[in-house]
Amino acid sequence: MLTPRECQVLQLIARGCTDRQVAQRLGLCLGTARRHRENLQGKLGLHKSAQLTIHYLEHVAPPDEMGLIPPALSHRQREVLHLLALGRSDKQAAKALGLSDQTVRKHRYNLQRRFAAGSVCALLFAAVSGGALALPLTPPQRAPLVLAVRPPATAYRQLRERLDKAVGGCLVL
């Protein structure tokens, strides 16, 4: 059970406020705001502020904070957003997706710009509020992978030989 002050701190963190901004808005010293965040993380068994944001949106946020029209995101942007919501760092997300961490940072930057968010917490809040990220978290569905298999070179030679026999060695166009 969270105290009323912890609920206030959780709401501000979910909206993308840093410890310093939480302290200013609630009239606390920076150390107290930081301890509130750490206590929340300990009580809820979470490690990152991004995870606190998702917890707030899943369990505390009133339904009117949820939006109606999700913006169009690419499949890769949805994957990056999902991993950030799970509390992964850029490097961890990059490793999970088989990308460089610079590529994931660029995706995160583009997402933050699209949602006008100054932090990952603000991005997650905006993404859930805007309908781009559904709760509870489920991994984005990947389109089926279709591989083009090239036959070995011997198959090409055999095909060419059969065609030569069929048309008497003449090239038919």
One-letter-per-residue 3-state SS of 76-108: HHHHHHHHHHCCCCHHHHHHHHCCCHHHHHHHH
pLDDT per position as a tens digit, 52-87: 888 888 887 765 555 544 567 888 998 999 999 888
Decide: pTM greater than 0.85. Answer: no
CA angle 64, 65, 68 (to 5 degrees): 80
Is residue 59 within 8 A of residue 66, CB to CB? The reply is no
Is residue 130 within 8 A of residue 67, CB to CB? The reply is yes
Interhelix angle 30-44/4-14, rounded to 10 degrees, is: 90
- Which residues make Cβ contacts (< 8 Å) with residue 103, sequence separation at least 6? 94
Structure tokens that stand for 103 in this block: 């590529």
pLDDT band (50, 70, 90) for residue 172: very low
* All domains in the chain, ordered by first residue: 4-63 (1.10.10.10)
What type of residue sits at position 148? A
Residue 90, Cβ density class (10 Å: 0-12 exposed, 13-18 middle, ≥19 buried): buried
pLDDT per position as a tens digit, 20-48: 999 999 999 999 999 999 999 999 998 88
| Mean pLDDT (the chain, rounded) | 81
